[in-house]
Structure 1
């Protein structure tokens, strides 16, 4: 019973991490129609910026805010200075570009911040709770992760369903020519999509880093798990990203707890293959996938 409870709690908390990263992928897909594999190193860079601020003597929350602001600026700069000049006639071109950015940002982070492991603080306690005489492996920071991801989900739903800005962003991504004819500043909407996605990615990076060690590659595995979670839920659905993250978290936690940590990556690959074979548009997809 104790082991099952621990597996479930670990699954929910890690699933929320995957969900946070999947939300960033969903946001940039819905607003620009690009799968950004550079999302992880971008979040890693902003996490290091937060660590620099905290090490300078400022509070965790000042560092948290600095990371979000820098994430917004970094996302906008990447779109304005790099992505905008890529030939979009072939959908693979931007994807290849983001893979290149993945490598470049890794290398730059190693040069600027170093390759050594560094401890990142957490704003809340990292000790488990005791409920009814039973040790429960959920910490104050775990609860913060859950709340933070749910808040991000709520904000994204509000943005895309109930605001004119969200409608303009989606129109710019789906039908840029028609959107321009209707007076929408498509370039600004695409820049805003990248900027907001980088902010959500920064949140994911901070949640992963809290109370653990960071280095330039600390988010690499999240690229795989977060991408599978986004595909599982459907790249069009923020709610699906959260559900997909939870499914991934619980599934991989069960594999790790009962079969061994060495099979976690294999299990994630199996889940991705099954989703692509059985329901390639995702569990919660509402629109047909674009055909090339």
Structure 2
């Protein structure tokens, strides 16, 4: 019997993000390159004799009830399999919140994996992914992890070869962005051909292990909305490139910006400058990490 699991929930960035159209049901059809990075939240899953789900977090403003995705993830499986015992979920956040890095979705994915293992439910990765989409469009990817092409509303996933390793500088300004606001103001069906990034070209470059072929095609159609509303995003991108990034781009609906570096020393110097130099006026949270290419569910730290 497993009474305790330590889980790692890894964040993601979008190497490319295109919105093809707004569907009649209100959802947006997307085409994205998803990439796991080495920043992760820590989750302790503890089995309890007392029925029910308890959630604790290190951030006072996060909900500890059914409004938290980790609660929803545990409840989904515990209800389906009629689990009469309870679980306590201790969530320690490191991934920036409301930052376009799928932190909440990754936390939910890790809890699905953990509950499945703790209670011996026997669900495959595919089965977990099928259930995960009920919680959020990014959850199936966060179960898969690694490098992947994401289509549909984000639930149609095609694994891709691992990205070549490099250094990734991540910076989040002191603002939060509403994903709903960004999509509502995108007017996806009115986009011009030149507005769409070359996602197919990125896929081919990834298959060739051509890092520069990927970075030269960086594109996020949501930047059209978010950068206009928050000019600091453009300033952070420019700052990273001036400090030696091969290229820089906003992740998801923002406001997080990431820059890719091929020289470790340049990445370290850029990190110091963004944390303590002129860049400190632009970014509230700064991390230096890399691509995390492990795809196996069994390596969620359990």
**Normalised-by-shorter TM-score class:** under 0.3
**Bigger proportion of residues as strand:** 2
Higher RCO (CA < 8 A, seq sep 6+): 1
TM-score (norm 2): 0.25
- Which structure has the highest helix share of the two? 1
